[in-house]
Chain A
């Protein structure tokens, strides 16, 4: 429940605060290396390694598929 409140709070904060840019200021943000998941293949390979070595998985997105390694 606290987590849901945290998300709701940041959403409210974000939309009514001065955060953000106008459309013509998005030049840098539009660069491929500024995407939050700029290299999905690498993320997928890494996620798979850590899924089979550790007891945690996911967080950024859905885990792409199960395997018998954990």
Chain B
């Protein structure tokens, strides 16, 4: 268990730690340092718990267990994993198959390290038989993948962690607080010491903020290619992959920021907008969530 750092701020306290390869923080409006630390520990513990349980890079995660157990009925999951799999199924349907947690197997050929290593169309097509939520046998509580298939909760793992961490912290104290995991954030209520939580949105071109969002009690998720991408011959290949083609979605905005009632909803809308490529803006306009797009 890594330590968390606590600092007093103008409006209360700020607890910081590292999780899911991101800087994470909890802003809480309280002068009580002990309470702030306690809440920070709760939030960090939940972030690390979810990271460890659902990481596809760890041997001891539920994902590894599911991917290794393809015999018989498959793997029997617990109620939390079942809820996440049900959610994955729901968003697969809602997005007409664009949002698919089985597309994780594409990491084998797409490594978004800002290099020029673009796979061939043939390599991409070869992986298509291993992609598709409809190929998964999910009969609660048993899940069975076809050999070679992989699951990736990365599409909503961080957002889920923010929502869960905030719920757990709220069970202890109703004081205004904001949980922020690397740009995916959510507040339980409007701050009392100022009008709103002020958040800077990272610009895609330089370190100047592209804008400042003022929000009260809701979630904010930013999605985009500013960190993970490949570039060759002047064309940028973003890390949002279309599971039908095994190819990145071209023509998508560089960054999309969405405000919603929960992180998981805001995150889904943001990701889906990127998956719509050139149609991102019209999609966002039709959904009614406050948003910000950078091209």
Contacts and interface: CB of A to CB of B under 8 A. Distances in A.
Contacts of A31: 171
A27 interface: yes
B167 interface: yes
Interface in A8-38: 27, 30-32
Nearest to B171: A31
Contacts of A30: 171
A32 B173 CA distance: 11
B36 to A, nearest CB: 20
Contacts of B167: 27
A32 B171 CA distance: 8
Interface in B138-169: 167
A50 to B, nearest CB: 32
A33 to B, nearest CB: 10
A30 B167 CA distance: 11
Contacts of A32: 171
Interface string B167-190: 100010000000000000000000
A23 to B, nearest CB: 10
A46 to B, nearest CB: 26
Contacts of B171: 30-32
B109 to A, nearest CB: 38
A31 B171 CA distance: 6
A36 to B, nearest CB: 18
Interface string A43-60: 000000000000000000
B47 to A, nearest CB: 20
A27 B262 CA distance: 14
A31 B169 CA distance: 12
Nearest to A32: B171
A17 B165 CA distance: 35
A35 to B, nearest CB: 13
Nearest to B167: A27
A11 B167 CA distance: 32
B175 to A, nearest CB: 14
A32 B170 CA distance: 12
A16 to B, nearest CB: 28
Interface of B: 167, 171
4 contacts: A27-B167, A30-B171, A31-B171, A32-B171
